[in-house]
Amino acid sequence: MNSIKKKAVVIGAGFSGISVASSLAQKGYQVTVIEKNTQLGGRARQYHCSGFTFDMGPSWYWMPDIFENYFKQFGKKPSDYYELVRLDPSYTIVFDEKEHWPIPASTKELGEFLEKFEKGAAKQLDKFLEQAAYKYKVGINDFVNRPSLSVTEFIDFKILKGALSLDLLSSLASHVRKFFKHEKIIKLLEFPVLFLGATPQNTPALYSLMNYADLSLGTWYPQGGMYKIVEGMVSLAEELGVEFKTGETVSHIEVNDGKARGVTTDQGHYHADIVVGGADYEHIEQKLLPPQYRSYSRKYWEKRTMAPSALLFYIGLDKKLEGINHHMLFFDEDFNQHAKDIYTDPKWPSKPLFYMSAASVTDPSVAPEGKENLVLLIPVAPGLQDDEQTRTHYYDIIMARLERLIGQSVKKHVLFKKSYAITDFENDYNAFRGNAYGLANTLSQTAILKPKCRSKVVENLYFVGQLTVPGPGVPPSLISGTVVAKEIEKAYAPH
C-alpha cells in the first residue's frame, strides 16, 4: 500500500472548510487549510474589546442533532468541547411597547399561549409541527446529505415519495395560512425564512422544517459564545492532523490539463492533489481561476438571488437592562415591507425590522460584571452602497425604537460600539455583493439547481459552504463539508 498521503488544500476556515478538512484528514489525506484572516472561523469569528466578547456572525444554535452527528462521526460529542444550555424562553418577539411574546421552549406551553389569540391554535400547532417534523426528518436526514450533482440521485421510490410530501411547489406563506389566521402567529412562523434569502411567498413550503427546528428542537447556547463551536472543531481537526495557515491570502489556483495542481498565496505555493474552495464560491471561480476553468460565467452570478447582507452593531453597555431576553426580534414595523426592501425592490429599508442578541443575559463571561453585551442586526439587501453616514442613520433609528420598546434608556449607556456591514463582508470574506447568508433558498436555487459542489471543468476542484448544497446556515455548512469529503473519497479512493 502506498504510504504517501494525498494532499488536500482547503481555501477558507469557516464551518464548512473546517468540516471538510476534518473529514478528509479522517480519510487519510494530508490537509492544509489556508485562511486569509488571522482568526479561524470565517463569519463566526469572535471580537474582544473593553472586556466584552462578541460573536461577530451566527448567534442562533439550532438543530442540535446536526452538531451531535458531526462530532459523532469522529467518536466525539459536543460536550467534549463546549457546554450547551437550552434557552427558555427560546426568544421574544416584540410587536409594540405593550405586546411582547416570549416563546416558551415547550411546544405544549406555546400552544396554550397561542390559544389566547386564535381559538384552536394549540391543535393546529400540533398538526403543523407534525408535518414540519416529517419534512425535517426527510429533508435533513436524506435530501441534504446528497451532493445534488445529478437528478438521478433522487430517482428512487423512497425519495420520490418523500418529495411529494415536502411541498416543494407550494409557498411557505400559503402553507402557514392553511393552519392559522392570526397575523402575529403567522409572523412567528414566517420569520426564520427572512434570513434564507426570499420572502415567505417565494420560499418553498419545505422550509417549514425550520419551524420544527425552532419550536420543537429548541434554541440553545454554547457557554462562552458561538466561537466555542469553532474552537472545538479546530481542536478536533488538529487532533486529526489538519494544519491551519492564518493571515495568508490565496491569489490563484494553478490548473494544468484540467486538474488543480496547487494553490499560490501571498506567502508561498502549496502542491495539491485535491483543492476545496471553502471561501466564497463566486470569488474562487471569478478571481482565483483562469477564465477557461470557470464553471459559471459572470452573467450567471449576476443573475443569482442572494440571501441578505446585514448591518450589525456590537455594543457594550455600562449597565444591565431589565426584562430582556437572550434573543429578541423587533417586529413593530411592517414585516412584508422590510422583506420587499430586501428582495423585491432592493434598497435600504425605510422602516427596518431588527434583531437583538444579549448573550450576557445567559452568559456572564461575555461582559464585565454589571454590564451588558448587545449585538443589533438589521437584515439588508446585498450589494447596496454602504457608508458611515448610512450606518449612523440606522443606529439612531433602532436605538430610539429599542429604548421605546423596552421602556428604558440605552444609548447614553453605550461604552463601546462597533459597526459591521456590506463592505466589511466584502473585505473580510470576499463575499459576493457583501452577502451575509449565502445563496437564497428559492425553488429555482434548491438542490440540483444550486452551483455544483464539484467543478464542471477542473477535475479535482470541489466547493463547500453556503453558496452550494445544502445551503446557508451553520448546520448546512457542517453537512456540506462531510458530503463533499465523501464525494472526494468516492472519486479518489483506491479501488
Which amino acid, residue 341?
A: D
Average pLDDT over residues 425-442: 94
Average pLDDT over residues 110-132: 97
Least confident of 156-160, 185-189, 204-208: 156-160
Average pLDDT over residues 451-478: 96
- CATH architecture observed for domain 305-429: Alpha-Beta Complex (3.90)
Q: Whose CA is closest to 14, among 66, 65, 56, 71?
A: 56
- pLDDT tens digit string along 331-389? 999 988 898 899 888 999 999 999 999 999 999 999 999 999 999 999 999 999 999 99
Domain limits, CATH 3.90.660.20, in the chain? 305-429
Share of the chain above pLDDT 90, in %: 82
Cα gap 357→303, rounded to integer Å: 33
Least confident of 36-40, 150-154, 291-295: 150-154
Residue 108, Cβ density class (10 Å: 0-12 exposed, 13-18 middle, ≥19 buried): exposed
- pLDDT tens digit string along 222-268? 999 999 999 999 999 999 999 999 999 999 999 999 999 999 999 99
Cα gap 209→74, rounded to integer Å: 27
Chosen CATH of 107-217 out of 1.10.405, 3.90.930, 3.30.450, 1.10.8: 1.10.405
pLDDT band at 196 (very low <50, low <70, confident <90, very high): low
pLDDT band at 494 (very low <50, low <70, confident <90, very high): low
CATH class of the 7-82+224-304+443-492 domain in this structure: alpha beta
Model-level pTM? Answer: 0.96
Cα gap 207→190, rounded to integer Å: 10
- pLDDT tens digit string along 384-414? 999 999 999 999 999 999 999 999 999 999 9
Do residues 11 and 281 lie in contact, with contact meaning Cβ atoms separated by under 8 Å? no
Do residues 250 and 277 lie in contact, with contact meaning Cβ atoms separated by under 8 Å? no
What is residue 1's predicted lDDT score, i.e. its pLDDT? 39
Helix and strand counts by DSSP (H, E) for the chain: 15, 19
What is residue 443's predicted lDDT score, i.e. its pLDDT? 78
Average pLDDT over residues 463-484: 95
Domain limits, CATH 1.10.405, in the chain? 107-217
User: In this structure, what are the phi and psi dihedrals at residue 11, rounded to the nearest 5 degrees?
Assistant: -95, 110
What is residue 157's predicted lDDT score, i.e. its pLDDT? 41
Per-residue cell: 181: 389566521
Domain limits, CATH 3.50.50.60, in the chain? 7-82+224-304+443-492
User: In this structure, what are the phi and psi dihedrals at residue 18, rounded to the nearest 5 degrees?
Assistant: -65, -40
- pLDDT tens digit string along 142-172? 778 888 887 767 655 454 555 555 666 788 9
What is residue 447's predicted lDDT score, i.e. its pLDDT? 84
What is residue 495's predicted lDDT score, i.e. its pLDDT? 45
Mean confidence (pLDDT) of the chain: 93
Q: Whose CA is closest to 238, among 43, 463, 21, 483?
A: 21
Q: Which residues contact 453 (CB under 8 A, 6 or more apart)?
A: 147, 148, 149, 462, 463, 464, 468, 469, 480, 483, 484, 487
Cα gap 220→78, rounded to integer Å: 12
What is residue 166's predicted lDDT score, i.e. its pLDDT? 64
Helix locations, 50-171, DSSP H: 64-72, 107-115, 121-141, 157-164
- pLDDT tens digit string along 78-116? 999 999 999 999 999 999 999 999 999 999 999 999 999
Q: Which residues contact 433 (CB under 8 A, 6 or more apart)?
A: 306, 309, 382, 383, 422, 426
